Every structure is written in structure tokens, then in C-alpha cells.
């Protein structure tokens, strides 16, 4: 076993050099030295005996991937790793703009409108006399089809077509709000009166 001192010392040097290569920017010099130390460790063990060489080779194949995996797992938490890697946002609120327009669109959930262009899957919809960019929730929507807003994603409204029941409710509510669709008799105006008199 005394004959394996130098091969294992070189293996330890290989592990340290690989670990340093990941944490210290050396332009690959430390990686090259680690490869030379690894080859020297294996070669020295095989020169002594085939059994020693097989033992060192097996230890190399087990230890080096483990060291590399640990170093890669730890590296993002080091000062150099934090400097190089960008911080990932935690949720959508971190990356969406905090503008009045965005908050206005958040209040659009449940609002109903009409498709101004075909939504295959994106296009324009008119809601409350304003045109918005919108995207369909997965089904094609034809021009003039009634839609409802189901979500807001990155400044775009996500809409779906109204069902037959919702469409009936929408038409009734729209007719009640539309003064031009209201019969003249219900407005209390005599149709025979002269409007200019």
C-alpha cells in the first residue's frame, strides 16, 4: 500500500486543481495542470503494478465527477459566480413594468368586447371603445366575434370567445346601454314632434 502514496498524492493534486479551475479564472491553465497530474497519477500506479493502476483508475473515475459536481453546485454562490451569473427573477411581478397602463390592464379581467382582427392566436380586440393587443387562449377567434378577457400576460390581454349563454347576456346588456337601439316610444319622445321647432 505504500506504493500508492504518490499516485494518490497526484490524485489529490488533481482534485484541488479541478476545484480551483472552477473558482479561479486561469484561462484553462489550472485545468491543463489537473489533466497532467491525473495522467501522471494513473501512469505511476500502472508502472508499479496492474492492480495498483486499476485501483487508482477506479478511484479517479469515482472521485473526479463527484468533485466537479460539487464544485458546480457551489460555484453560483461564490462571489465570482454571483458576479457572472444573473439573478433570476422570483416571479412575474419582478419583470413586468409597474406602469399605470399595466395596472389598467389588470382591471380588464372579465370585461367583454369584440375581435377587431382574427386572433390566430394574436390580434386586436375592442373593449369599451378602445383597441387592445390580445391573444387567444388557444382557439381561433374570427373578426366580429364576442370575447371575454380571462388573463393579462406581459401587457397583452388573453381572451376567449363567449359561450352561447354568455353571448345572449352580452347582447341584452349591450342593447340596454345602446341609446340608438332603444325604441323611440320608450324615450318619452313623440315621433310627430318637430325637433327643430
Q: How far is CA 128 from CA 19, 135, 148, 174, in A?
A: 62, 18, 12, 11
Whether the full predicted model's pTM is greater than 0.85, yes or no, is no
Of the options 3.40.50.300, 2.40.50.140, 3.20.20.70, 2.40.100.10, the CATH number for the domain spanning 94-182: 2.40.50.140
Instruction: Name every residue whose Cβ is closer than 8 Å to that of residue 149 and which is 6 or more positions away in sequence.
Output: 108, 109, 110, 111, 112, 113, 127, 134, 157, 158, 159
Per-residue pLDDT of the chain (197 residues; tens, 9 = 90+): 567 788 888 888 988 888 788 777 788 898 899 889 989 988 888 888 888 888 888 988 888 888 778 878 887 887 777 777 766 655 444 455 566 666 666 778 888 889 999 988 889 999 888 888 899 988 889 998 999 999 887 778 899 998 877 766 655 555 555 566 566 666 666 666 666 65
Tens-place pLDDT, residues 113-136: 899 999 888 899 998 888 888 999
Tens-place pLDDT, residues 56-85: 889 888 888 887 788 788 878 877 777 777
Say how far apart CA 166 and CA 113 lie, in whole Å.
12
Closest to 63 measured CA to CA, from 42, 47, 82: 42
Say how far apart CA 4 and CA 13 lie, in whole Å.
14
Q: pLDDT value at position 92?
A: 45
Contact (CB, 8 A) for 23 and 80? yes
Closest to 30 measured CA to CA, from 71, 59, 60, 70: 71
| DSSP string across 127-178 | ETTEEEEEEESSS-B-TT-EEEEEEEETTEEEEEEPPHHHHHHHHHHHHHH-
121 CB neighbour count, 10 Å cutoff? 15
Amino acid at each position: 500500500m505504500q506504493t500508492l502514496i504518490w499516485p494518490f498524492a497526484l490524485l489529490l493534486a488533481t482534485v484541488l486543481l479541478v476545484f480551483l479551475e472552477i473558482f479561479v479564472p486561469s484561462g484553462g491553465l489550472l485545468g491543463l495542470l489537473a489533466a497532467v497530474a491525473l495522467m501522471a497519477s494513473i501512469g505511476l500506479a500502472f508502472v508499479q503494478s496492474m492492480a495498483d493502476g486499476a485501483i487508482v483508475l477506479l478511484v479517479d473515475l469515482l472521485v473526479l465527477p463527484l468533485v466537479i459536481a460539487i464544485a458546480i453546485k457551489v460555484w453560483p454562490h461564490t462571489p465570482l459566480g454571483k458576479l457572472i451569473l444573473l439573478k433570476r427573477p422570483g416571479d412575474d411581478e419582478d419583470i413586468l413594468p409597474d406602469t399605470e397602463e399595466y395596472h389598467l390592464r389588470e382591471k380588464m379581467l372579465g370585461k367583454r368586447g369584440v375581435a377587431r382582427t382574427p386572433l390566430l392566436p394574436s390580434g386586436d380586440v375592442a373593449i369599451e371603445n378602445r383597441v387592445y393587443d390580445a391573444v387567444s387562449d388557444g382557439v381561433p377567434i374570427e373578426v366580429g366575434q364576442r370575447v371575454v378577457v380571462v388573463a393579462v400576460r406581459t401587457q397583452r390581454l388573453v381572451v376567449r370567445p363567449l359561450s352561447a349563454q354568455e353571448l345572449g347576456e352580452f347582447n341584452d346588456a349591450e342593447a340596454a346601454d345602446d341609446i340608438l337601439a332603444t325604441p323611440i316610444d320608450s324615450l318619452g319622445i313623440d315621433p310627430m314632434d318637430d325637433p327643430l321647432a
